[in-house]
Amino acid sequence: MARLNFSTLPTNPLVGARWGAFRKVVKGKRIDKKYKGKYVLTSIICAILNLGRPLEELVYRLRVRNMKLDDAPLFILGHWRSGTTFVHNVFCKDKQFGYTTTYQTVFPNIMLSGQWLFRRCMAAVMPERRPTDNMELSPDLPQEEEFAMSNLVPYSFYHFWYFPRHTREYSDKYLTFRDCPEEEREAYKREFVRLVKTSLYNTGGKRFLSKNPPHTGHIREILEMFPNARFIYLVRNPYTVFESTRNFFTNVIGPLKLQDITPEEIEADIVQTYTDLYTRYEEQKSLIPGGHLTEVRFEDFEADPLGMTERIYRDLSIDGFEEARPAIEAYIGGKKGYRKNAYKYEERTRRIVEENWGYALRQWGYEM
């Protein structure tokens, strides 16, 4: 079976959405003419897959719903392209952690009932590496759960991938929850708790591990769900973050979008979204109890991933590092030859970052 080319996907991940959520997401949105075929095919597959929801609900009620969440979850926060994926993958080597898989993010509504079939199909056709940064891809690898949430509820920032001209609206409502109605915020929380339980059941972990950039703006909501949650906040050189995010957003929006957006509009959204996320985090981080948050420069983590991982376990009072050390060391050792995307900061990049994100450069000691 031929593997899909990410840049020419015939559908987008909304194929795995709940039908009610799908209809609300697309309601009132303009779909450009050239993407009508993708929209129709996506909606047809979505409707067919939703025929399996009654069985999914039955399995959830019987096996998962009453699961106790006794161990404090760990949330990896930070803007996109701040090193969150690497840190996530390192911590996932500790078997105490459970996480949302790539399969689950696309098909959260047939996670429990359909994985035996659809996971195999997904493994056969999906690219082996992420085209945006050459990271490995597999249905079983950890993934950020916002992709799953965007298929479970119509209240996710990640709907901007499909309707990028609404990025500002999605940011105000669902990236920071500033303008989000209370009933929508509560619905998001209910589905997130269900997702956590399903993820732990699926992976066999006892402590949930989250890597989800939008959660950087959701600290209040996370603490309402999990008062004892632990947090890692990652920062990275803003010049690198800008160029890497521009590359990432452009390459992901392209194959998924149902409406066009210009490169200039994408840049402007990135500039504003970074500020939205930074501001919301700074406003809310004081809500986190002492000893439950550690802030890390990714450059420091990358220079000594094993030592920094051990320090994070200690700072956050998480047990189990010595038991996990061999698996973590093996993973880190296997990444020594990994080639990251290289970025040369153009003068224009320097100007944009210094004019708009100078506060971050100064706070974290990055050279201007």
* Residue 1 falls inside a structural domain: no
Q: In a structure prediction context, what are the per-residue pLDDT tens digits for the chain, which is 368 residues long?
A: 566 677 788 899 999 999 999 999 999 999 999 999 999 999 999 999 999 999 999 999 999 999 999 999 999 999 999 999 999 999 999 999 999 999 999 898 888 888 877 778 777 777 666 666 666 777 788 999 999 999 999 999 999 999 999 999 999 999 999 999 999 999 999 999 999 999 999 999 999 999 999 999 999 999 999 999 999 999 999 999 999 999 999 999 999 999 999 999 999 999 999 999 999 999 999 999 999 999 999 999 999 999 999 999 999 999 999 999 999 999 999 876 555 555 678 899 999 999 999 999 999 998 87
Position 1 scores a pLDDT of 55
* Residue 87 falls inside a structural domain: yes
Query: How many separate domains does the chain show?
Result: 1
Q: Find, among 357, 219, 214, the residue nearest to 286 by Cα.
A: 219
Q: Find, among 178, 179, 201, 177, the residue nearest to 189 by Cα.
A: 177
76 and 213 in contact (C-beta within 8 Å)?
no
* Residue 50 falls inside a structural domain: yes
Distance (Å, whole) CA 290 – CA 21: 38
- In what side-by-side order are the strands of the sheet with 74-77? 97-98, 207-211, 74-77, 230-235, 293-297
Distance (Å, whole) CA 275 – CA 215: 15
Helix (H, G, I), strand (E, B) or coil at 300: helix
What tens digit of pLDDT does each residue of 21-35 get? 999 999 999 999 999
Both tokens assigned to 139:
């249905």
Give, in degrees to the nearest 5, the angle at Cα 193 between 191 and 130.
75
Domain containing 52 equals 6-340+347-364
Q: What is the CATH number of the domain that holds 146?
A: 3.40.50.300
* Residue 104 falls inside a structural domain: yes
pTM for this prediction: 0.93
What tens digit of pLDDT does each residue of 287-334 get? 999 999 999 999 999 999 999 999 999 999 999 999 999 999 999 998
145 secondary structure, DSSP code: T
Alpha helices by DSSP H, the chain: 19-26, 36-49, 53-63, 84-91, 102-106, 115-125, 146-152, 167-170, 182-203, 219-225, 238-256, 263-284, 298-303, 305-315, 321-334, 347-364
Both tokens assigned to 168:
């500002």
Position 343 scores a pLDDT of 61
Please state at what angle helix 238-256 crosses helix 263-284, rounded to 10 degrees: 120
Helix (H, G, I), strand (E, B) or coil at 93: coil
* Residue 297 falls inside a structural domain: yes
* Residue 53 falls inside a structural domain: yes
Q: Find, among 229, 197, 223, the residue nearest to 98 by Cα.
A: 197
Please state, as a whole number, how many other Cβ atoms lie within 10 Å of the Cβ of residue 346: 11
